[in-house]
Amino acid sequence: MKTPCFSCTAKCCKHYDVFIDHEDVKNLEKIRGDWSFLKKVEYKKTFGYVPKFKLWEGDEKKKWVLCLNNNSNRVCTFLENDFCTVYENRPYICKTYPFYYDKHRVSEMKNLCPVKWIVDDEKRKQVEKDYKELLLNFLTFETICDDWNTIVKKEDKLENFLIFVKNYEI
């Protein structure tokens, strides 16, 4: 199915935090060869349901989430000239945007996407499938984060967490 993403200015990749989970970390690391595409963002309740991991900053243990945004702004690190360089391997959160699945139906988040989507039965089924996979991944990632949070030490850095995620056996 053709998507309107290819005629867009990538608003979703420029103005929102692009949260990822453990599967995205593994898949994108294979493509990129490293973890430089990741950014940790201090968790704030406005993020809603996003799995959180803990790392020390100074004398305080803080909660963090993983994003694809670069370090200077809220633009996805995989965005080049308004096109996604990992489109075929993009995270589920990107695959479902601007939709969500609730109460057994697919709905569109209003006023977030600047283009008009045509949602036929094929697209509706795909969004439902991808959204369920996204939720399952987030629940699994939450378990991984919870396990990490019980063992994190002051000297641990983001790389230690990512190695833990990469090696976690589900």
Per domain, the residue ranges of the chain are 4-163
Integer Cα distance of 66 and 17 in angstroms: 9
Q: Residue 39 forms beta bridges with which residues?
A: 67
Phi, psi (deg, nearest 5) at residue 109: -70, 120
pLDDT above 70 coverage of the chain, percent: 89
Strands (E) in the chain, as ranges, are 39-42, 53-57, 60-67, 79-80, 83-84, 99-102, 105-108
pLDDT of 71: 61
**Per-residue pLDDT reduced to its tens digit, 38-78:** 889 888 766 667 899 999 999 999 999 998 876 667 788 88
Q: Within 10 A of 33 (CB to CB), how many other CB atoms are there? A: 8
The CA distance from 105 to 123, in Å, is 12
Let me know: does 71 contact 20? Beta carbons within 8 Å: no
- Give the pLDDT of residue 155: 96
Which amino acid belongs to residue 113?
A: C
Q: Which two tokens stand for residue 170?
A: 């589900």
Low-confidence ranges of the chain (pLDDT < 70): 1-6, 45-48, 70-72, 111-112
Exposure letters 61-74 (e unless 16+ CB within 10 A, then b): eeebbbbbbbeeee
Distance, CA of 63 to CA of 42 (rounded, Å): 6
Q: How far apart are CA 13 and CA 68, in angstroms?
A: 9
Residue 1, SS3? coil
Contact criterion met (CB below 8 Å) for 99 and 127: yes
How many angstroms separate the CA atoms of 64 and 43, rounded? 5
Report the Cα–Cα distance between both ends of the chain, in Å, rounded. Answer: 33
pLDDT, position 1: 43
pLDDT score, position 67 = 87
Q: What is the pLDDT of residue 118?
A: 75
